[in-house]
A and B are shown apart, each in its own frame.
Chain A
């Protein structure tokens, strides 16, 4: 398998649930990113990891918790989310100075 993969592709959860989104890249990149894409809004950068170290937290609420155990895997742990957190969550990887490669996204619905 190549490129950037994300699981699950679709997720429906209640506000009291705890779930995790997974991202895996097979491109050998050192940086990985989480973005949120809500309806009628530009993509919003959430977190950046470079060489497994978090280098950016874009004022994201603590109910979103990222984890990067190695340079190929990135997780987004979710707990006590709100309905307004429903969105498409995109993972990307890349090398400095060039394009980022995106996964297919997880479409999250919070009931």
Chain B
């Protein structure tokens, strides 16, 4: 079975500082993918960044980067130069190997509530 663990229920960071959100995972699949989503108070889940298990380089998307350490089974999200608008819930998720009919399943962690202080 796959499992995602996010050990930080909440984090408070000063504006413009960098922040790291932790995520560890457990899977027996050799091929898998890791995702980070942002959920503002409006409720919509916004995709941020993706890392494939065979990707040799850490994924980056603008101010977001994923610190992928395969041996440690961790996939931490790093947000550089944080902004007030970054305040939200952040969820780490993973997909395992594709299902028989090709539709992937995502397993989510419990999330981290990030608050950016001015």
Contact = CB atoms under 8 A, between A and B. Distances in A.
Contact of B47 (A88, A97, A99): A99
Contact of B45 (A50, A56, A102): A102
Contact of B99 (A42, A55, A90): A55
A48 B43 contact: no
B48 to A, nearest CB: 9
Contacts, number: 75
Interface stretch (B12-20, B69-77, B80-88, B101-109): B101-109
A33 B106 CA distance: 10
Contact of B105 (A45, A90, A103, A107): A45
Nearest to A99: B47
Nearest to A92: B45
A31 interface: yes
A107 B104 CA distance: 25
B42 interface: yes
Interface size band for A: 20 to 34
Contact of A96 (B42, B45, B47, B102): B102
Contact of A90 (B33, B45, B93): B45
B98 interface: yes
Which residue among A40, A55, A92 has the maximum number of chain B CB atoms within 10 Å of its CB? A55
Given A42-B111, A53-B101, A99-B35, A104 B106 contact: no
Contacts of A56: 99, 103, 105
Given A96-B98, A99-B47, A50 B111 contact: no
B108 to A, nearest CB: 4
Contact of A43 (B46, B104, B108): B108
Interface of B: 4, 33, 35, 37, 42-47, 50, 91, 93, 95, 98-111
Interface of A: 30-31, 33, 40-43, 45, 48-51, 53, 55-56, 88, 90, 92, 94, 96-105, 107
Closest 4 pairs between A and B when the two form their complex, measured CB to CB: A50-B103, A102-B45, A31-B103, A43-B108
